[in-house]
Amino acid sequence: MSKQQATMTDEPAAAAQPETRSRHGHHREDPYAWLRDPQWREAMRDPQKLDATIRDYLNAENAWTEQALAPVAKLQKDLVAELRGRIREDDSSVPQRDGPWFYYSRFRDGGQHALICRRQGEDGDEQILLDGDAEAEGHDYFQLGAVGHTVDHHYLAYAVDCSGAEIHEIRVRDLETGEDLADHMTGVHGDFDWAADSRTLFYTTLDEEHRPREVRRHVLGTDPADDPLVYREPDPGFFLGVGLCASERFLLIESHDHTTSETRVIPADQPDAEPRLLAARQRDVEYEVEEHDGRWLIRTNLDGAEDYCIMQTPLGASGHAQWRTLVPHRPGCLLRGMLVYRDWLVRLELEDGQPRIVIRRFSDGQEHSIGFDEPCFSLGVIPGLEYATDTLRFTYSSLTTPGQVFDYDMASRTRVLRKQQEVPSGHDPSQYVARRLHALAPDGEDIPISLFYRADMPPSAETPLLLYGYGAYGISSMPSFSPHRLSLVDRGFVFAIAHVRGGLERGYRWYRQGRLTDKPNTFGDFIACAEHLIQTGYTGKGRISMHGGSAGGMLVGAVLNQRPDLFRAAVADVPFVDVLNTMLDPELPLTPPEWPEWGNPLEDEHAYQTILSYSPYDNVVAQDYPHLLVTAGVSDPRVTYWEPAKWVARLRALRTNDNLLLLQTNMSAGHGGASGRFDYLEEVARRFAFLLWVNGKGGD
Q: Would you please indicate which residues are annotated as catalytic (active-site) residues?
A: 550, 636, 671
Q: Are strands 295-300 and 414-420 parallel, antiparallel or unpaired?
A: unpaired
Helix (H) or strand (E) holding 498: strand 494-498
Using CA atoms, how far apart are residues 203 and 209, in angstroms rounded to an integer?
18
By residue count, the chain amounts to 700
Residue 133 in contact with residue 114, Cβ under 8 Å?
A: no
Helices (H), 244-311: none
Torsion of CA 498, 502, 503, 507, to 10 degrees: 110
Residue 591 in contact with residue 585, Cβ under 8 Å?
A: yes
Using CA atoms, how far apart are residues 522 and 517, in angstroms rounded to an integer?
11
Helix (H) or strand (E) holding 598: helix 591-598
Of 626, 628, 438, 655, the closest CA to residue 531 belongs to: 438
Residues 6+ apart with CB under 8 A from 99: 153
Residue 689 in contact with residue 696, Cβ under 8 Å?
A: no
Using CA atoms, how far apart are residues 678 and 683, in angstroms rounded to an integer?
9
How are strands ordered across the β-sheet holding 367-370? Answer: 333-340, 344-351, 354-361, 367-370
Of 638, 530, 622, 525, the closest CA to residue 577 belongs to: 638
Q: Three-class SS string for 550-571? A: CHHHHHHHHHHHHCHHHEEEEE
**Helix, strand, coil distribution of the chain in percent, nearest 5:** 25, 35, 40
